[in-house]
Structure 1
Amino acid sequence: MNTKRLALRFKPYALELKHAFTLAGSSRTTTPVMLTELEYEGVTGYGEASMPPYLGESYETVTRFLAALDLGQFSDPFQVDSILNYVDHTAAVNCAAKASVDIALHDLLGKLMGQPCYKMWAYDSALTPNTSFTIGIDSREVVRQKMKEAAPFKILKVKLGRDNDQAMIETIRELTDVPLCVDVNQGWHDRQAALDMIYWLEEKGVVFVEQPMPQTALDDMAWLTQHSPLPTIADEALQRLDDVKKAHGVYAGINIKLMKCTGMREARKMIKLAKALDLKVMIGCMTETSCAVSAAAQLSPRADWADLDGNLLIANDPFIGVQVVDGKVVLNDGPGIGVKPRYSFM
């Protein structure tokens, strides 16, 4: 009789942001996360659930979800579909909580096999893209300070959607001519005004526009995509695999985030479907530790763009993982997702 069993542990942790993170409709200085460990025969995989406010998850909801799981019923960690189907069907929501188990399981499997996830999937690490570095909405003075931190990056993501959009872009263009992408976080509501703004942004060296209009404005968004000189990327409008088909014909591409799609297994399926539908793919993140960012980075060789700077925006990262060198995502040869804890946090 096989007595080997999976054992799950978890602990809350608060991320401290280096700067206030301001979007079209909110601002914050911290992000709650739940750190997870999945152990099998003395080998430990690490995971994480990041809980920015708009996801609707909290320490309470994630704790309740994880505490209800009985992963001890599984004696073989390689039964990935059985394990993750069980986790997914435990509740209808809790996507970030599910991702924390998915990431820990993939990390564990990689360690048991002695290989990074990207090598297990036969991805070419040389194909990782440059990652953008995020410049949140702020005053000219603070934007200038953030630009100093962004100096090594080859592409910048600028948050827009308030009444100072052009001022944000003009301030940045005073300091650098690197390519920009913009994330409007559903902040524009008039499609003609949005199109006019996109033409102006194209002149300023912007390469794509993320979630320019509300996710419910499907007809306006499809019209905007049809007429836009720049690719439009779905973010808030896209969560899980079923949403990829819905994005086709409405957006030019999708932004996949592990915290929204339940983790690495589903993210890989989303990439495959998006490629089949000729949609551009971006791998993104929330404000996260190097744990979740390194997990997402394993998928980045299959992406057109990466926005994997969430760990660079925090002051208290408990992990060492994926690095950004001269603006490019650089995967290491560490097994699993390639992270090491700086200290014991359980």
Structure 2
Amino acid sequence: MSSRREFIKSSGLLMGASLTTAPEDLFAAQKKKMSGAGSLKLRFRPYILNLKHAFNLATSSRTTTPVVLTELEYDGVIGYGEASMPPYLGESHETVTKFLSKVDLSKFDDPFEMENILRYVDEIEVGNRAAKASVDIALHDLVGKLVKQPWYKIWGFDASKTPLTSYTIGIDTAEVVRQKVKEAAPYKILKVKLGRDTDKMMIETIRQITDKPICVDVNQGWKDKSFALEMAHWLHERGVIFLEQAMPKEQIDDNAWLTERSPIPTVGDEAVQRLDDVLKAHQVYHGINIKLMKCTGMREAHKMLTLARALNMKVMMGCMTETSCAISAAAQLAPMVDWADLDGAVLISNDVYKGAEIINGKVTLKDLPGIGIKKI
């Protein structure tokens, strides 16, 4: 562990560096065309996502997810955003709408001042990451529409390089697990939630039906490092390709111990929320799971991706249960990641947008401006 601490100490200057460069020429050209009479107007409304199946994790179960849908308008152009609040984030309709009511964008008359705008939003209060993400996503969508380009093109990414996405199977009975595996037929990779005393049953049930690659997410459900290592070997023998957040994030040394010995890559999820967590995760996990709702949105997600790559870490792009708005926003980064878990919109029955799709198990981007969505 001493080498990891020394690396973090010696790399501290990275945290103060800007990890993204705005495409100034593209933005400047469009700014000349704008009337200059516009102002940024933020609107938002609460919404409830209905899940097709109960979502069972190591420590919780739910059938709905609260979200807040945002709109950011400038000069007649509207950008769409979203805050999704699963319970562990500690946010709710009340906290998000309260935070968004404090956001005063009247001081900004230029949407291309993205760094200044999003820094202001981030500094209003500590926390409220999903609420901040809803503004960030809407601003990215708006600016992409103003320059008439999707963000994956603005960032210089190749849409053909998007990975396969996994389909999530929550903890359940053997009968329901079989049903979910059948529903996941179009997907090439399965993501399985573990962390209870039914772990081996879950995997064995799936293996009775399919030999597709599996990734597992324990959601901090295992507490003992020796047990976690034993399970890592057992899972490896059954075609599991990586192990996500096996133990509580506070057990830093235990997670690092597991990473040194695991036959499959380990991924930090709950342990990696924002940019400054990426350095802390180096040598504790093989990779990180970036989610827009954890890190305040696309701006910081891009910075996390850049830093993780500089550290030679694996990167996964994940999601909560979300509409196609937030999924499409996250998908703009998908061409640069190793793994994707962007099935959040297919797990709900009342989406309100159409955007990035899963075709033959692959994240497929639309050649539409902004984050590439349309209202249904």
- Aligned partner of 2:154 in structure 1 is 120
- Aligned partner of 1:336 in structure 2 is 370
The alignment status of 1:38 with 2:67, answered yes or no, reads no
- Aligned partner of 1:230 in structure 2 is 264
Q: Residues of 2 paired with 1:176 and 1:30: CA distance?
A: 29
Aligned match for 1:149, one of 177, 183, 187: 183
AA matched with 2:260? Q
Q: Residues of 2 paired with 1:78 and 1:86: CA distance?
A: 14
Structure 1 residue 4: Cα displacement: 1.8
- Aligned partner of 1:212 in structure 2 is 246
Q: Residues of 2 paired with 1:195 and 1:151: CA distance?
A: 30
- Aligned partner of 1:54 in structure 2 is 88
Q: Residues of 1 paired with 2:200 and 2:88: CA distance?
A: 26
Q: Gaps (5+ residues) in structure 1? A: none
Q: Residues of 1 paired with 2:368 and 2:348: CA distance?
A: 23
Aligned with 2:101: secondary structure?
A: helix
The alignment status of 1:258 with 2:319, answered yes or no, reads no
What does 1:195-344 correspond to in 2, within 5 Å? 195-342=229-376
AA matched with 2:367? D
2:40–2:106 contact (8 Å) kept in structure 1: yes
Q: Residues of 2 paired with 1:186 and 1:167: CA distance?
A: 19
Structure 1 residue 73: Cα displacement: 1.5
AA matched with 1:19? H
Query: Deviation string for 1:214-246 (max 9, x for gaps)?
Result: 000001110000000110000000100000000
Q: Residues of 2 paired with 1:198 and 1:285: CA distance?
A: 24
Aligned with 2:43: secondary structure?
A: strand
Structure 1 residue 116: Cα displacement: 0.5
Query: Deviation string for 1:229-273 (max 9, x for gaps)?
Result: 110000000100000000001000000000000000000000000
Q: Residues of 2 paired with 1:269 and 1:133: CA distance?
A: 26
Task: Give me the TM-score of the superposition, normalised by structure 2.
Answer: 0.90
Query: Deviation string for 1:151-190 (max 9, x for gaps)?
Result: 0111100000000000000000011101000000000011
Structure 1 residue 3: Cα displacement: 3.8
Aligned with 1:267: secondary structure?
A: helix
- Aligned partner of 1:158 in structure 2 is 192
Q: Residues of 2 paired with 1:64 and 1:158: CA distance?
A: 35
- Aligned partner of 1:7 in structure 2 is 41
AA matched with 1:124? D
Aligned with 2:45: secondary structure?
A: strand
Q: Gaps (5+ residues) in structure 2? A: 1-34
Aligned with 1:68: secondary structure?
A: coil
Q: Residues of 1 paired with 2:97 and 2:320: CA distance?
A: 19
- Aligned partner of 2:121 in structure 1 is 87
Structure 1 residue 2: Cα displacement: 4.9
AA matched with 2:67? V
The alignment status of 1:23 with 2:57, answered yes or no, reads yes
Q: Residues of 2 paired with 1:177 and 1:281: CA distance?
A: 24
- RMSD, aligned α-carbons: 0.8
Q: Residues of 2 paired with 1:3 and 1:78: CA distance?
A: 14
Q: Residues of 1 paired with 2:65 and 2:285: CA distance?
A: 29
Percent identity between matched residues is 68
Q: Number of residue pairs matched?
A: 342
- Aligned partner of 1:109 in structure 2 is 143
